[in-house]
Chains A and B, each alone.
Chain A
Amino acid sequence: MISYITRRFAEIAVVLLIVSFVCFGIFQYLGDPVLAVVGYRYANPKVIAEARQRLGLDKPIYIQYLRFLGKALRGDFGFSYTKIRPVLNVIADRIPATLELVVVATALAILLGGASGVVAGVRPHSALSRMVSVASLFGISIPTFLSGLLLIMLFAVTLGWFPASGRGETVRIGFWSTGFLTGDGLLHLVLPAITLSLYQVAMILRLVRAEMVEVLSHDYVRSAWAKGLPRVKVICKHALRNALIPVVTVVGLQFGEMLGFSIVTETIFQWPGLGKLLIDTLYNNDSPVIVVYIMFMALVISLINLAVDIGYGFLDPRICYD
């Protein structure tokens, strides 16, 4: 197990190295960031040259990359071109907003999707199950941005129940600014969290339903019924536990997908998280921020995948890693 985890960490390091290299390479072909800093083409050549030197952009590309890498290993990712602040701080400031949104949306998806999936799986032919199934088909057929827009139209514009943009009032605890502790912050969280979770609710529902239907047809479940065990015990203890094994993997992987779709959700709701930061920086060509964003996401997603694989081993004792 330990050697497996060590190997996976080595792999993650290699992935990050490749990712950083690719990012850095791509940016050499993008527009000149110096112009973005000194204010487009109206600056005189002297100011441009000074800015170029100050940012270290007059050195050859490989030296720029090695310098970037050397500094990165010491935790120094340089300065954002447009915000004139350390990139690490720019990214770190946005993490709480995205993480709170994604965690709440994931929890919603697991609870709603899991519960309705079990209901639909236990009695696949009842009227309720059919309704749930049709709803889930709609759920996977509506793109995130569209459900976000429709929710804004209904609940923010027409009914005025929830605010349509921003994060509301936040409380700062150490380095973490949270929206969980104020009524305003929670109110602002409702629509974005629902938007982000809708597709995943439907996904998890369909998966749990399919797994439940399959597991319930196994012999050991029939034996459990035959023993005269109570309904709840058969469904929860015998069937659900086994149905959940593949679900855990999917939920783990979906967490990464949620990070991806949070880009869309954050843009719709003007949510000040990492996704909105990415879209903003892509527009103004702030390459250091984008490189660190990509590397950060690569790290997070690799760690999630590792956690999923390890968790899988604990859930299903037949799987062993060597």
Chain B
Amino acid sequence: MTRNLVKSKLLKHFLRSPSAIIGTAIILSSLFAAAFAPFLAPQNPYDLTTISLKESLNPPIWMKGGHSPFLLGTDEQGRDILSTILYGLRTSLIVGFVVVLSAGIVGGVIGLLAGYYEGKLSSIAMRTADIAYSFPAIMVAILLMGLVGKRGLLVVILAISAITWVRYARTIRGKVLSEKNREYVLAARAIGASNLRVIGKHLLPNCLPPLLVIAAVDIAMVIMLESSLSYLGVGVPITEPSLGQLIFMGKGFLQAGKWWLVVFPGGTLITFVLAINLVGDWLRVELSPRIRFV
């Protein structure tokens, strides 16, 4: 009953916020485009039989020299830019969502446990996490990727997850520490609920709103981080280029005036991240106006 009330209130507020609606529309259409990239893209840019070097560096269709079917032009290999963007968006989104999901679950569980059982072990773990957290994420990611030396989607996901889980653990632990002496938790324990039940059934639902807010904004952060890694040459492999990798491959042609190799993938990246931030901002105000990003 109350839950439905909360939900309908959230929906009402959502429908009254243009920025949240625009953001959600962009996110949903991006998800759709990425999921169905093989069907939507005019060509499979990584199938060597469909590309031709004769078509290399075509400008977009509305400029002199541009022609169909290359709506946004082609790169130096003759690949259609629109198609590479659709496939690149796919890689970027996979990294963003998988990292946030895995880091959120791992960090959430560690935070719940560390907050609930305030032992020596958990304080050591959190202190270590604090110290690790004080290092700039991008520096640690570059070092991890550089030191591992292998390049693959999974390696990138693991490296970025290894940095981002700390944020969830810290936030959730703080929330658990403030919640666990509230009456509802004490009451649950007094009637003999097991620790597992108290954590899962009572504490977790009350700790979710800040977790959701962080997760929303974090998808944008992770996608930007991954694109930066790819730009530096320590990101996803060249066979599965993300948006960052496309920009990296196109930047060499900037001086020659071939701007479309950078501007279109870059514009896609910015638009998507902006949409996430729009929704994230709205969600923060709605769910937990007092949350601070530390």
Contact = CB atoms under 8 A, between A and B. Distances in A.
Interface of A: 11, 15, 26-27, 30-31, 137-138, 140-146, 149-150, 152-153, 157, 246, 250, 253, 256-261, 263-264, 267, 278-279, 282, 290, 294, 297-298, 301-302, 305
Contacts of B135: 256, 260, 297-298, 301
A264 to B, nearest CB: 6
B227 interface: yes
A149 B254 contact: yes
Please classify the interface of chain A as helix (H, G, I), strand (E, B), loop, or mixed, using the class held by over half of its residues: helix
A146 B266 contact: yes
Contact of A253 (B134, B228, B247): B134
A294 B143 CA distance: 9
A260 B138 CA distance: 6
A242 B128 CA distance: 31
B149 interface: yes
A98 to B, nearest CB: 12
A153 B254 contact: yes
Contact of B232 (A15, A253, A279): A279
Contact of B136 (A11, A31, A142, A256): A256
A146 B228 CA distance: 9
A294 B147 CA distance: 12
Contacts of B109: none
A27 B147 CA distance: 8
Interface in B208-247: 220, 224, 227-228, 231-234, 244, 247
A260 B137 contact: yes
A143 B269 contact: yes
B68 interface: no
Nearest to B230: A145
Which of A137, A138, A260, A298: most chain B Cβ within 10 A?
A260
Contacts of A26: 147
A141 B262 contact: no
A235 B124 CA distance: 42
Contacts of B220: 141
Contacts of B262: 149, 153
B254 A143 contact: no
A278 B146 CA distance: 10
B34 interface: no
26 contacts: A15-B131, A137-B274, A137-B281, A141-B273, A143-B224, A143-B273, A145-B232, A145-B244, A146-B247, A146-B270, A149-B254, A149-B266, A152-B254, A153-B262, A157-B254, A250-B294, A256-B135, A257-B138, A259-B139, A260-B138, A261-B138, A267-B232, A278-B142, A279-B142, A298-B135, A301-B135
Interface of B: 131, 134-139, 142-143, 146-147, 149, 220, 224, 227-228, 231-234, 244, 247, 251, 254-255, 259, 262, 266, 269-270, 273-274, 277-278, 281, 292, 294
A264 B137 CA distance: 12
A31 B146 CA distance: 12
Nearest to B265: A146
A320 B149 CA distance: 45
Nearest to B221: A140
Which of B131, B136, B292: most chain A Cβ within 10 A?
B136
Which of B143, B277, B281, B292: most chain A Cβ within 10 A?
B143
Contact of A141 (B134, B146, B251, B277): B277
B105 to A, nearest CB: 25
A137 B278 contact: yes
Contacts of B224: 143
Nearest to B131: A15
A30 B149 contact: yes
Contacts of B136: 256-261, 301
B274 A157 contact: no
A11 B127 CA distance: 10
A322 to B, nearest CB: 17
Contacts of B281: 137
Contact of A153 (B131, B259, B273, B274): B259
Contact of A157 (B138, B147, B232, B255): B255
A297 B139 contact: yes
Contact of B228 (A145, A150, A258): A145
Given A140-B277, A150-B266, 16 more contacts: A30-B147, A141-B220, A143-B228, A143-B269, A144-B228, A145-B232, A146-B247, A256-B136, A260-B139, A264-B231, A267-B232, A279-B142, A282-B143, A282-B147, A290-B146, A298-B135
A11 B131 CA distance: 10
A142 B292 contact: no
Contacts of B232: 145, 263-264, 267, 279
Given A149-B247, A253-B134, A256-B136, A282 B274 contact: no
B263 to A, nearest CB: 8
